Chains A and B, each alone.
Chain A
């Protein structure tokens, strides 16, 4: 059995151009830096009730930072596009921590090269059921303003568009024992323009979000494996994401389409993940040729 990755077009010339272009841009970088936010996921134990986020200003200008909490979980539209709508008032039936977690400080100015710790205090209701509760931490940096110059003559038209950068990370509060699981539906294959789309329904179970990685492969009748998907994802409620593959990357023919979900993430420490059995589905699909 041979294993092959779906090929990506990367010419040496493109890489060279990229390096040259980045070097050019780097000279103007210091003018407007954002803040660094870490870690991407803060987990608070309901017994200790505290957590923290570290902000760092690597730029040359002071940055005004505001930290607010919003509720938001990944959702998908009918085409399988993933988005994360943010609400200040979460729906009543969700495991939301937004209303009872506070951030200190909520506003601050970070000097160039300085760090700031933002501490979180969770005050969960006394009758809160065991489980995992989530909120998003929106860190806004106001110095990240870009001028939109439109004309520079004294008699002309000039304008300025200030862009505020929001960096949105995750805060989880866990109370008691939490469990999670993942159920995958049969993947569906469709053609859209010059892409093949694989869409799969993913339904979490238990009292915690399923944080893991979805992987997918096409296996030809000759046993060749074409890996097309490795997507870290958090599943808080049923979603049906889609994943695109360039049509030319896969020869036409009959394939077994396999999608798996495992609790492993490169971007989240293993100790913060809630374990769950691997989910796996497969089906047989016919990949059409190019029109």
Chain B
């Protein structure tokens, strides 16, 4: 075995060990990339904002390459505000999407009302999008409304 072969084997082994070590210590992180923006609403006109639409909320999940996480949303049914009647929010079977880059590019739709198991790609990065439908009856009062939701990313194990 030549010195060159031994050196090559050594470098290869070091790189493999380094890659495994990096994966093993990759922290888990969730970034909020973009807020949900439904644009201007008109009383009496419902707004359906899909996960692939421009106004959807975008989250970035970064973790170990090929690692598995379970994504869970806790979603409000309505938002309350100055007016007496709340602004009703709806989420459906395809209100959320996950993709390696952005929704719409190889994206898979999922129901944000149910836990979703996501295996991160080799890059260790995935984008999760959340859309919603807003029910705006004609009698909806003008004003500001507020609600609270939770995005939980649970790493296995």
Contacts and interface: CB of A to CB of B under 8 A. Distances in A.
Per CB-CB distance, the 6 closest pairs between chain A and chain B, nearest first, are A234-B157, A18-B101, A38-B27, A267-B64, A159-B145, A83-B115
A150 B49 CA distance: 11
Interface string A31-68: 11111111111000000000000101010000000000
B89 to A, nearest CB: 8
Contacts of A18: 99-102, 105
Interface of B: 20-21, 23-41, 43, 47, 57-60, 63-68, 70, 72, 76, 79, 81, 87, 89, 99-102, 105-106, 114-115, 117, 119, 127, 132, 134, 136, 140-157
Given A234-B157, A266-B66, A268-B24, A161 B30 contact: no
B41 A266 contact: no
A289 interface: no
A160 B145 contact: yes
Interface in A127-153: 136, 138, 144-153
Contacts of A158: 143-145
A279 B105 CA distance: 37
A267 B63 contact: yes
Q: For this complex, into which size category does the number of interface residues on chain A fall?
A: 35 or more
A160 B66 contact: no
Given A150-B41, A156-B142, A268-B24, A25 B117 contact: no
Interface of A: 9-10, 14-15, 17-19, 21-22, 25, 28-29, 31-41, 54, 56, 58, 72, 74, 81-84, 86, 136, 138, 144-153, 155-170, 209, 211, 230-234, 236, 265-270
A231 B143 CA distance: 48
A162 B149 contact: yes
Contact of A34 (B30, B36, B65, B127): B30
Given A36-B29, A266-B20, A159 B156 contact: no
A84 B156 CA distance: 9
A247 B6 CA distance: 45
Q: Is the interface of A mostly helix, strand, loop or mixed?
A: mixed
Nearest to A236: B157
A167 B101 contact: no
A74 B70 CA distance: 9
Given A161-B146, A162-B147, A232 B102 contact: no
Contacts of A19: 101
B8 to A, nearest CB: 24
Which of B79, B150, B152 lies at the interface centre, i.e. has the most chain A CB atoms within 10 A of its CB? B152
B65 A161 contact: no
A157 to B, nearest CB: 5
A269 B117 contact: no
A162 B146 contact: yes
A163 B150 contact: yes
Given A82-B117, A166-B152, A267-B66, 10 more contacts: A17-B101, A18-B101, A38-B28, A81-B115, A136-B154, A148-B35, A231-B68, A266-B20, A266-B23, A266-B24
